[in-house]
Amino acid sequence: MAAWAIAVLSRSGGALAETPVSIELVLAVDTSLSVDDIEFDLQMTGMAQAFRNPDIIDLIGQQDGVAVALFQWNEEADTRHAIPWHLLKNPDSILSFAAKVEALGRAPARKFTGIGKALEYGVRLIAGNAFAGRLLKIDISGDGRDNIGSLPSAAREQAKALGIQINGLPILIDTYALDVYYRDKVILGPGAFMEIANDYDDFARAFLRKLRREITPSMSRHMPLSRPPVQQAVGDQGGAA
């Protein structure tokens, strides 16, 4: 908690922020035991394909830089099987990032699902980087509810203090009403939303739609605050779980 408080003060005071960008985006990828190797590959390939999409490349080019980092999580955040912050501004930088996503090895599978721990690490990544983003976002995907460690509510409070939006991509395979759980317990902030993947084969479609919404300039600045039905992209006005 003390380390987080220091990060909040540093962030608010601008001590660590140096390069202005439109968006800081953290991608948090589920690698818990419920995710097999094929499903992991579907996630990574789907994300890489999304960043190679011509529309996405064009949308990023319309921004004043998009800083992106990626990490894997299960019982805890894995700092070794991760991609550090990359500044995306042109096709070369975007395609280079996509190649690193596709080539990234998998973190060792662990049994439990620590959404709270993943969100806490995502907050630290944003609080301690060298960018000054107008919009701060964590994009977390997964196929289960939090079942270990600190609750997501604590990390959501940390994110709220820094003005970080949390968006979700629940993958509906086994967990009952996971979309409702993500809506009520995970996503956070004005305009926060989620995109639902019906299974892992549907992940690429859902992630592309989600990424497009997160980096579209007009949508990023004027996201709706209403909450559509659960099975669609869902807005949320924030607050603790």
Q: Is the pLDDT confidence value at 230 over 60? A: no
* Domain assignment of residue 9, yes or no: no
Q: Is the pLDDT confidence value at 236 over 80? A: no
* Count of structural domains within the chain: 1
* Domain assignment of residue 231, yes or no: no
Mean pLDDT of the chain: 86
Q: Which residues does 198 contact at the CB level (< 8 Å), separation at least 6?
A: 172
Backbone CA torsion sign across 229, 233, 237, 239: positive
Domain containing 196: what range? 19-221
CATH code, 124: 3.40.50.410
The pTM assigned to this predicted structure is: 0.84
Q: For residues 16-33, give the mean pLDDT.
A: 90
Percent of the chain whose pLDDT exceeds 90: 73
- Residues pairing with 197 in the sheet: 171
Confidence category of residue 219, pLDDT binned at 50, 70, 90: low
* Domain assignment of residue 3, yes or no: no
* Domain assignment of residue 69, yes or no: yes
Confidence category of residue 218, pLDDT binned at 50, 70, 90: low
Residue 171 contacts residue 141 (beta carbons within 8 Å): yes
Confidence category of residue 227, pLDDT binned at 50, 70, 90: very low
Residue 122 contacts residue 138 (beta carbons within 8 Å): yes
* Domain assignment of residue 12, yes or no: no
Q: For residues 205-222, give the mean pLDDT.
A: 82
* Domain assignment of residue 188, yes or no: yes
Could you read off the pLDDT of 163-206 as tens digits, one per residue? 999 999 999 998 789 999 999 999 999 999 999 999 999 999 99
Q: Which tokens belong to 137?
A: 């976002």
* Domain assignment of residue 134, yes or no: yes
* Domain assignment of residue 62, yes or no: yes
